[in-house]
Amino acid sequence: MFKSTNNKALHPLMLAGTGSDVGKSIIATALCRIFRQNGYRPAPFKAQNMALNSYVTADGLEIGRAQAVQAEAAGIPCEADMNPILLKPQSDHTSQVVLLGKPIGNKNAYDYWRHEGKEELRKEVHAAFDRLSQRFNPIVMEGAGSIAELNLRDTDLVNMPMARYADARVILVADIDRGGVFASAYGSIMLQDEEDRKRIKGIIINKFRGDMRLFEEGRRMLEDVCGVPVLGVIPFMKDIHIDEEDSVDLKIKDEALAQQKEKNDRVCVKVIRLPYISNFTDFNALGRDPRVVLSYTDKADELRQADIIILPGTKSTINDLCWLHQSGMAEAILRAHRDGKTILGICGGYQMMGQTIADPDGIEGSVASMPGLGLLPIHTTMLPEKRTQQVTFHFEGHECHGYEIHQGVSNTDQPIIQSDHCVGTYIHGILDNQPFVDFLLRPFADRIGDHHETIDYQVYKQQQYDLLADRVRQYLDMDALYSILHL
């Protein structure tokens, strides 16, 4: 195995993609861990991210969840410079723009992708990269979507223009599972101009299923037509669990997890899959608890199976509350409550469980106020200022940790509200705290007994980073990668 020390500088590395969801984030996470294991001090960087999964830094700034995960894998605290621009979709056409951890307003897609104001954003992105590169090496950069979107090239902040500024070595990530890997890899390279084409130094084939010996000839053919080496063919890693950037495969992932457990003595937890669900990583720890079978649903009749129903966070609370009523979910939740089921609301889900939601400034749209589900004695008002902070709180004698990201405020200072088998909180990550999970499952103690051994989720996550690094080392030519990156 290649050994290195942190006194030898490396070029920045950019993982660019043939498209969205090809696995750039997970490979970036693996490389952050590998570089750390090899004696370097890496840091992640994604100039612009579009995601509803976010995290709060120690100084109260908001970034994409993927970069927080990559920083954790690298063994360093996350910071806003790692993801200077975060776009949080609020509708099919509008996103909140978060710059260096603070929201600066909402933009529709047409206005955002025009030239006006882009150079100011570009300067901010470059400055963030410069600050990171003075303290860390290597910088593990991540592109966004496809690098071959010709119509967006002039306003692109995150892909090849960023690679040029950083003098990064670019590795193209292609997803073989979706098919068309030859065309997508070749097209992505050939559609670059000459300067950018030379910057692409290798290809990683990701999400391979089956016997890799069957692709040996394909690998050679891909190298011949693209003119760059294939540095690795990474298998589909469904047995390694890293927090996800977005909800593309959420339903598939959760169903696969649920099928691994016998249901007869487990607590059935249903998370409402809201249209604008955010921070669904809140439920990863609970989903790993051996006492629980957790799944997501957007169907009212499936709530009849649930012991616990969770209303998650959302980027558009009022819109998703309207959806609850239109879909029949609201009625099903209220019926489940009358039947004695436990209802848990987190952040936007907590707001929905209250008596009223007021939006006098039109933060979320044209609805000035709306009744909530009436399950908790709170009233919420949407305000222009977003609250983003890490929090420490005590629960049943234990110190617990989490973070808050929310636009509205409610008329209580209590971190957790309980009323008639309903629980609500603004705290994301609350289910990463074992005392709270034990409290939530306590009513079902007679069924689940004491024979299910729980896990320490923080230890579990570190184990997963190590497993991921081991797996990627096995299939990626790290010697060739270091040769590409050495200054």
Catalytic residues: 347, 428
Q: Which residues contact 460 (CB under 8 A, 6 or more apart)?
A: 285, 288
CA distance 48 to 15: 14
Return the number of other C-beta atoms located less than 10 Å from residue 358's C-beta: 16
CA distance 217 to 392: 55
N-terminal to C-terminal alpha carbon distance within the chain = 20
Distances (CA, A) of 28 to 161, 164, 172, 380, 394: 19, 19, 12, 39, 35
Q: What is the DSSP letter of 304?
A: G
How many CA within 13 A on the CB side of residue 99?
Answer: 14
Cβ contact 176:206 at 8 Å: yes
Q: Which two tokens stand for residue 245?
A: 């950037």
Cβ contact 266:225 at 8 Å: no
How many CA within 13 A on the CB side of residue 447?
Answer: 13
Token pair 């993609």: residue = 17
Token pair 């997508």: residue = 184
Distances (CA, A) of 258 to 187, 278, 445: 39, 21, 20
